[in-house]
Chain A
Amino acid sequence: MRQRVVSHRFATKRHMAVITVEDISKRYIIDHKKGKGSNSIKDAVVEQFRKLFNGKNSSDAERIEHEEFWALRDVSFAVEQGDRIGIVGHNGAGKSTLLKILSKITEPSSGRIHIRGRIASLLEVGTGFHPELTGRENIFLNGSILGMSREEIRRHFDEIVDFGGIEKFLDTPVKRYSSGMYVRLGFAIAAHLDPEIMIIDEVLAVGDAEFQKKCLGKMRDVSASGRTILFVSHNMTAVQALCNKTLYFERGQLIEQGETNQVISSYLSKVSKTRLARHWATPEEAPGNDLVRIKRIELIPEYRDNQNFIDVRTPFRVRFEFWNMMDKANLNLSLHLNSMTGECIFNVGTQSQPFAKGVISGECLIPGHFLNDGTYNVSVMIVKDTVTPLYNMEEGLIFDVADYREGVAWYGKWPGYVRPQLEFHTEMMEENILND
Chain B
Amino acid sequence: MDSPILQVKNLTKIYGQNVIFQDISLDVNRGETIVIIGPSGTGKSTLLRCINLLTPANSGQIFLNGQEITTPEANEDRVRQQIGMVFQNFLLFNHLTALDNVMVGLTKVKKMPKARAREKALYELNRVGLSDRADHYPGQLSGGQQQRVGIARALAMDPSVMLFDEPTSALDPELIGEVLGVMETLAREHMTMLVVTHEMGFAREVANRIVFMEKGSIVEQGKPDDLFYRPQHERTREFLWKITELYGNKEEKHE
- Decide whether A and B are members of one complex: no
Measuring CB to CB, which residues of chain A are less than 8 angstroms from any residue of chain B? Answer: none
Q: Which residues of B contact A (CB under 8 A)?
A: none
